[in-house]
């Protein structure tokens, strides 16, 4: 496990390679479908949200409000990232994002933006909402809660040793592209076999 | 009706927080098969720890608590309207308790009122039977796996899929290839051969009520299930699409009659966080037993 502490320098991010297992510590902002569309359409980040050299996490957590008005994160795994493919490259460039946390991987436009701007895609374990919620040490703030609803809001989280795997790096490497190509070839080979042969 | 409310809230809690034994056993086996030190094995270890934590803390296994789908077997004369009203109240109560995420959005306005109740949510399928017993099953199906479901119309030339079982096999395996890790594998397929577009998907989802370790009573479908499972696990997609040996944990296939003009193959994908539970209810609506 490579420890990674946000915010990052470009140099730190450029050292990461596909297949590296990392443990992330620092501030993370969640943002998913509604936030990506909003930013892509020219919307501004609310005061207090700064993505520069930081992390955006594709996540719609379960949050419980405590009697003192604070928030407790009770489930916080990644959501499927490919839905943000139309927006992600623009957001990486425009807001200076150094790491995108999600699951399932992203496409060629995001991969190109990672290479151009010095950013990586960090794959969390989909469905592992409890293990990942335990890594959330504190819910610092929430933005756009009324506007987008709880799962789609921007949650500002402090995480510690959040486990992820680099599956798209800043040098054009993508585990998703590799696995797709290999599995497609394996399937073609099996389908060419005549039935019963 | 408060006993029924309590029973359904408990059904929702346990479905959201606890993986059924048959699924857990399959996940444990898959971890044993992955090569140690790979990122696939790391992912499965996190999954195992997550299952244990969710159960201990009574919190959702996955933050996407999914589409809420009830399947209810009821005796003749049972008040289905009252059941559905209580089911809606139970969903709202379970959401307040944090067993369910505020997960239901108005498709026209984008508003989320935080109750999980609205048009189409929850879904309740009733089925009458000649037993005095009420059996309520619940499936919580997340959006990531729902998004990789696919419906094919045969023939499909680009996949060389004709209107026969070989054509069905080709499109089902294509669905696995296209899903990669996006549906949170290792996954489980529910498939319906035939039917119309709506019943095809509906029946494909009903396959998720079967236990993972059962066998299809129809030998032709059983052979297809075993073949798809074996072939999919030779593709190297692996847990989370990281590469590895376990791409699927199970394949369940049914067939429905079709029109001469139509041949749909409907594939639903269930993530490893396979949330499915069921209860039997006594005359007082208290829980008398668990079905999985």
- Give which of B168, B164, B187 is closest to B176, Cα–Cα: B187
Phi-psi region of B237 (alpha: psi -120 to 50; beta: other; left: phi over 0): alpha
CB A63 within 8 A of CB A73: yes
Known catalytic membership, residue A90:
no
pLDDT > 90? residue A82: yes
Which of A66, A127, A187 has the highest number of chain B CBs within 10 A, making it the mutation to test binding with B? Answer: A127
Test mutation, B36, B49, B57, B63, chain A, max A CBs within 10 A:
B63
pLDDT in tens, A46-79: 999 999 999 999 999 999 999 999 999 999 999 9
What sign does the CA torsion over A165, A167, A168, A172 have? positive
Chain A partners within 8 Å of B160 (Cβ): 191
Q: Residue A193: what pLDDT?
A: 54
Cis peptide before B122 (omega within 30 of 0): yes
Instruction: Match 């409890």 to its residue by tokens.
Output: A130
pLDDT at A83 over 70: yes
Number of A–B residue contacts, CB under 8 Å = 164
Tell me what pLDDT residue B125 has. 98
- Tokens representing B128 are 């009458």
Residue A197: predicted pLDDT: 42
Contact A131 B241 (CB under 8 A): no
Q: How distant is the Cα of B153 from the closest Cα of chain A, in angstroms?
A: 19
Task: Give the nearest partner residue to B240 out of A74, A123, A182, using CB atoms.
Answer: A123
The reply to whether residue A62 touches residue B59, judged by beta carbons under 8 angstroms, is yes
Task: Locate A23 and state its tokens.
Answer: 């443990």
Give tens-digit pLDDT for A107-144.
999 999 999 999 999 999 999 999 999 999 999 999 99
The residue written with tokens 């199906």 in the block is B141
- For residue B120 the two structure tokens come to 């189409």
Q: What is the pLDDT of residue B207?
A: 98
- Residue reference for tokens 């509604």: A34
Side-chain-side CA neighbours of A142 within 13 Å: the count stands at 23
Question: What is the complex's ipTM, to 2 decimals?
Answer: 0.94
The list of chain B residues with pLDDT below 70 reads 1
First to last CA, chain B: 25
- Chain B hits for A191, Cβ within 8 Å: 160, 170, 173
**CB-based contact B184 A151, cutoff 8 Å:** no
pTM: 0.96
pLDDT at A123: 98
Is there a contact between B101 and A75 if contact means CB atoms under 8 Å apart?
Answer: yes
Residue A179: pLDDT band by 50, 70, 90 thresholds? Answer: very high
Interface contact flag, A126 B160, Cβ < 8 Å: no
The whole-number pLDDT of residue A72 equals: 97
Tens-digit pLDDT profile for residues A17-51 = 999 999 999 999 999 999 999 999 999 999 999 99
* Å between A50 CA and nearest CA of chain B: 25
């Amino acid at each position: 496990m490579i420890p990674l502490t946000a915010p990052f320098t470009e140099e730190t991010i450029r050292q990461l390679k596909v297949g590296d297992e990392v443990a992330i510590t620092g501030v993370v902002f969640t943002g998913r479908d509604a936030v990506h569309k909003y930013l892509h359409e020219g919307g501004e980040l609310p005061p207090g949200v700064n993505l520069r050299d930081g992390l955006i996490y594709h996540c719609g957590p379960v949050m419980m409000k405590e009697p003192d008005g604070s928030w407790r994160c009770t489930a916080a795994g990644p959501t499927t990232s490919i839905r943000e493919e139309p927006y992600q490259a623009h957001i990486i460039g425009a807001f200076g994002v150094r790491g995108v946390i999600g699951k399932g991987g992203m496409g060629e436009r995001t991969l190109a933006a990672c290479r151009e701007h010095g950013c990586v895609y960090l794959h969390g374990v989909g469905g592992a909402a409890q293990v990942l919620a335990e890594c959330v040490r504190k819910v610092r703030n929430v933005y756009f809660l009324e506007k987008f609803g709880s799962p789609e809001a921007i949650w500002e989280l402090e995480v510690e040793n959040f486990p992820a795997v680099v599956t798209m790096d800043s040098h054009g490497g993508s585990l998703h592209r590799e696995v797709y190509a290999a599995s497609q070839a394996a399937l073609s080979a099996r389908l060419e076999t005549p039935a019963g042969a | 009706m408060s006993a029924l409310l309590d029973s359904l809230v408990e059904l929702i809690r346990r479905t959201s927080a606890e993986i059924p034994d048959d699924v857990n056993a399959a996940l444990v086996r898959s971890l044993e098969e992955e090569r140690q030190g790979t990122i696939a094995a790391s992912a499965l270890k996190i999954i195992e720890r997550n299952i244990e934590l969710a159960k201990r803390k009574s919190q959702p296994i996955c933050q996407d608590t999914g589409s809420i789908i009830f399947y209810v077997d009821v005796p003749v004369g049972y008040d289905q309207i009252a059941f559905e009203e209580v089911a809606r109240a139970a969903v709202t109560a379970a959401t307040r308790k944090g067993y369910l995420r505020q997960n239901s959005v108005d498709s026209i306005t984008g508003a989320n009122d935080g109750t999980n109740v609205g048009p189409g949510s929850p879904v309740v399928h009733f089925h009458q039977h000649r037993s005095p017993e009420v059996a309520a099953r619940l499936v919580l199906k997340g959006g990531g796996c729902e998004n990789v479901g696919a419906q094919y119309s045969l023939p499909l030339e680009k996949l060389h899929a004709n209107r026969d079982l070989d054509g069905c096999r080709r499109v089902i395996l294509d669905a696995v290839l296209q899903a990669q890790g996006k549906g949170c594998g290792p996954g489980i397929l529910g498939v319906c051969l035939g039917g119309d577009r709506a019943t095809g998907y509906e029946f494909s989802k009903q396959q998720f009520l079967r236990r993972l370790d059962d066998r299809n009573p129809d030998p032709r479908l059983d052979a297809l299930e075993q073949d798809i499972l074996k072939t999919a696990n030779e593709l190297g997609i692996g847990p989370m699409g990281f590469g590895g040996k376990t791409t699927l944990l199970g394949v369940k296939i049914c067939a429905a009659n079709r029109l001469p003009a139509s041949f749909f193959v409907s594939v639903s994908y269930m993530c490893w966080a396979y949330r499915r539970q069921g209860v039997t209810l006594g005359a007082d609506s208290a829980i008398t037993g668990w079905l999985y």
